[in-house]
Amino acid sequence: MSIDPAPTVPAEPGPMIEADNLVKRYGDFEVLRGVSLAVARGQVKVIVGPSGSGKSTFLRCLALLEPVDAGRVVLEQRDVSWKVGAGGGTERRLAPYRSQLCMVFQHFNLFPHLTALQNVMVGPMHVRHTPKRQAEAEAMALLDRVRLGDRAGRYPHELSGGQQQRVAIARALAVRPRVMLFDEPTSALDPELVREVIDVMEELAAEGMTMIVVSHEMRFAHEAANAIVMMDEGEIIEEAPPDRFFTAPGHERTQRFLQLVKT
Amino acid sequence: MEFDWQIFVDALTSEAFVSGAALTIGLAAAAQAAAIVIGLGVALLRASPIAPLRWVAATYVWLFRAIPTLLQLLFVWNALPQLIPSLRDPWFTPFLAAFVALALNEAAYMAEIIRSGLNAVDKGQVLAGKTLGLTSGQVFRLIVMPQTIRVIIPPTGNEFITLLKLTSLASVISLRELLTITSQTVSVNFRFAELYTAATVWYLLIVSIFMLLQSRLERRYQWTSRAEGRRGAAAAVPAIVTVNR
């Protein structure tokens, strides 16, 4: 069982996903002030930064869940941007790209009226048009993979937070995303449940999934990330491999932030 | 004059009372069904990004909630045929007039109930649907609608019971529903106690049956698995689940 079988194509000419100078405003307030980030196939980048720095907004813009005021989102050399004021039919055009940039949310957002298995089957059945029997088999395999095969018939409210988040990861995997975006996937969890979710994410990273993760789980950042990205006030102020980021941060604001996180 | 049980039982089981009760149920069910459909449309218009559409919907709710139901009924039955000659033809029956009036009236209330139900669905649900690649229509049908239905079942049950009793207003336009039948029979034999009690029993019976249906429907929307071992939850497990491995 593996995720989207890593295609054995020759060396990539460019990044898997790229944010090019994204600008996002809410009224007069500029949440994203020209954010650029490129992630190569199989890379994992972790975004950290104080609350209100625009991390989540950045992720939602990348996931094509919010339109941007300026800049481009480029998925495998293709401009898939959603601009503010784009006309009708935009959502229909975006839908297929959204499933390739699938997001996992802080509060899981599982569908409460569906069992764990049905949650995972929704994407394959209604987006990929997989026949039901096959969708069920695939969903079951994915639940096994996140070690929840025995919870397939349970409804979300019957699962712990950690279990819910693992179902949410399986649900995202079911649409075979090219890139997975995690928005603080463990910050709504009780401390003892964080590990089980992080374990699954580390496995995904090891198997070559391209991931962008907003998280303050420093252990995950240490062990799985290729680079750590520091955001503050709507900008990326620093990007560095984990060892350098933690030991010798270049920016004074990064140093201050790391002090806060460590304590 | 004592309470005559024979008269009571005869009235209760008379063909006139049974058909009156059937008409009451039929009118209420048809009007409620139409009201849900119209109400859904109005509720969606109220959330429209296009301002004039929102105004139209808000005006509808305002108008039909402000005017007494009885007046709406009289308007549809008496005033509309005056304005639209074709409504004077025999096809425009009291039943049809009552259906139109009650459906339009009830739709205004249903619009508000459905609107609150739609608002009760967490916005994160829509985002989760969209990130999987579902279109807006699919998100609405597969994700938002089932969760809305769960929220609106109890208030809709309330509305339906109110509507059942509002059908008695149609006695003023000579629709032969339960109360009309009762009044007509009373005017012949003056057995008020027996006949009003018979009508009461019919209303109690009808409402009780629908309350039972409602609680079954609510159980179906409980979203609890068999594994929790709650009685009756089996019906809540949709067919595509395979619990056992």
pLDDT of residue A2: 47
Nearest to B131 among A96, A103, A115 (CB): A103
Q: Is A218 on the interface with B (CB under 8 A)?
A: no
Within 8 A of B224 by CB-CB distance, chain A residues are 155, 158
User: Across the interface, do B221 and A157 touch by the CB < 8 Å criterion?
Assistant: no
Q: What is the Cα–Cα distance from A225 to A62, expressed in whole angstroms?
A: 19
Q: Is B237 on the interface with A (CB under 8 A)?
A: yes
Within 8 A of B237 by CB-CB distance, chain A residues are 115, 153
Q: Where are the alpha helices (DSSP H) in A8-115?
A: 55-62, 90-100
Placement of tokens 């699919």 in the chain: B138
Contact A54, A183 (CB under 8 A): no
Tens digits of residue pLDDT in B49-87 = 899 999 999 999 999 999 999 999 999 999 999 999 999
- Exposure of B229 by Cβ count < 10 A (0-12 exposed, 13-18 middle, 19+ buried)? exposed
Kindly list the averaged pLDDT for each block of 10 residues, start to end, along chain A of length 263. 50 83 94 96 94 94 95 94 84 91 96 97 95 96 96 96 97 96 95 94 95 92 93 94 90 88 69
Nearest to B142 among A98, A107, A122 (CB): A122
Please give the domain boundaries of chain B with CATH numbers for all domains: 5-236 (1.10.3720.10)
By C-alpha distance, which of B51, B8, B34, B52 is closest to B102? B34
- List of residues 6+ apart from A108 with CB closer than 8 A: A156, A161, A164, A165, A167, A168, A188
Q: B56 is written with which tokens?
A: 């139209």
Q: How many CB atoms lie within 10 A of CB B82?
A: 10
Q: How close does chain A come to B132, measured CA to CA in Å?
A: 5
Q: What is the Cα–Cα distance from A224 to A201, expressed in whole angstroms?
A: 9
pLDDT of residue B178: 87
Q: Is A149 on the interface with B (CB under 8 A)?
A: yes
Provide the angle, in degrees to the nearest 10, between the axes of the packed helices A90-100 and B123-131.
70
Contact A143, A174 (CB under 8 A): no
CB pairs under 8 A between A and B: 107
pLDDT of residue B6: 93
Nearest to A65 among B127, B138, B150 (CB): B127
Q: A164 is written with which tokens?
A: 């819910």
Tell which B residues from 165 to 224 touch A, by Cβ distance under 8 Å.
221, 223-224
Within 8 A of B242 by CB-CB distance, chain A residues are 117, 136, 140, 152-153
Q: What percent of chain B shows pLDDT beyond 90?
A: 78
Domain boundaries, chain A: 17-110+177-252
CA dihedral of A3, A187, A62, A199, whole degrees rounded to 10: -20
Q: Is B243 on the interface with A (CB under 8 A)?
A: yes
Q: pLDDT-based confidence at B143, cuts 50/70/90? A: very high
At residue B220, does pLDDT exceed 80? yes
Nearest to B135 among A91, A103, A109 (CB): A91
C-alpha distance across the termini of chain A, in Å: 40
**Average pLDDT rounded to a whole number, residues B158-186:** 91
Tens digits of residue pLDDT in B201-213 = 999 999 999 999 9
Backbone angles phi, psi at B111, to 5 degrees: -60, -45
User: Across the interface, do A95 and B134 touch by the CB < 8 Å criterion?
Assistant: yes
User: Across the interface, do A172 and B132 touch by the CB < 8 Å criterion?
Assistant: yes
Q: How close does chain B come to A15, measured CA to CA in Å?
A: 21
Cα nearest neighbour of B147 on chain A? A113
Per DSSP, what are the bridge partners of residue A32? A24
Nearest to A109 among B127, B226, B228 (CB): B127
What's the topology of domain A17-110+177-252?
Answer: Rossmann fold (3.40.50)
